[in-house]
Structure 1
């Protein structure tokens, strides 16, 4: 898997959050449910978006990919944006990230990516990882995936 190392500044994400575990029954339903809520009206109610991309942020890791973590599905917003009721604000910390680019069908491309990532010998921080989606066609999407590094 090809990637590039990049330094990012902190970013503010506003969206809906749930606690999850990759190896729990129902994990895919938790993630799918968040995306469904986002596109069934939540996205339109998020103020002060800085662009049209959507983001899935993974943070507050209990340990590593086998432990619990928070997932927030939403978009990048101005740091001073008002917080609508029922939404959460998360910060993607600045720092060093490995940036991967995947393209194609959203569900299979992202699932295949994470399966392959867990086999890579990256020196992960397990602080904040995120997927940034560009495009509107779920069968042909560009997804930049950022993995926090030590």
Structure 2
């Protein structure tokens, strides 16, 4: 019998230990140990993209939060674009020409935190979403990180 998960959640934070937990979770997902992108027989699930949801914040980016990695279809992104147009979310599209997903993701979050510190955005700390795409899956050969940050109007 083949099965697959729709999402998996851990409680973590942005500490060094938290970053290790996140790395271990992603290793389990990309290896197929957790059948989110692959079914339990290790067959890739076509049309599925992994998206991280950050929610249940204890306070802000300095406290604990839930990290859920979800398997989504393409309509998820169209839905998020609609929320950006409504002003409910601010979108960040950051790329790394060297193809490093980690560097790309770090740049994207650094931009969020810099704008937050400067008072340019006001986060609601309800649900934020991240989709990081390795260079081998993009048309331009760059790694991309798309962040959707819940923002107060």
TM-score, with length taken from structure 1: 0.68
Highest Rg: 1 or 2?
A: 2
1:133 to partner: Cα distance:
3.2
Query: What is the distance in 2 between the residues matched to 1:14 and 1:50?
Result: 14
What CA RMSD, in Å, does the superposition of the two structures yield over aligned residues?
2.9
Gaps of 5+ in 1: 1-12, 78-91
Alignment of 1:20-39 (within 5 A): 20-22=12-14, 24-39=15-30
1:110 to partner: Cα distance:
0.7
Alignment of 1:1-150 (within 5 A): 14-22=6-14, 24-41=15-32, 42=35, 43-45=37-39, 51-76=47-72, 95=83, 96-104=88-96, 105-120=100-115, 121=119, 122-134=121-133, 137=136, 140-150=142-152
* Number of aligned residue pairs: 121
Query: What is the distance in 2 between the residues matched to 1:100 and 1:40?
Result: 28
Higher strand fraction (1 or 2): 1
The answer to whether the 8 Å contact 1:38/1:74 transfers is no
Relative to structure 1, the CA distance from residue 119 to residue 136 in structure 2 (aligned partners, 3 Å threshold; closer, same or farther) is closer
Query: What is the distance in 1 between the residues matched to 2:8 and 2:135?
Result: 20
> Deviations 1:117-141 (Å, cap 9, x if unpaired)?
1121211110011112345638832
Provide runs of 4+ in structure 1 moved above 4 Å.
none
1:25 to partner: Cα distance:
3.1
Higher helix fraction (1 or 2): 2
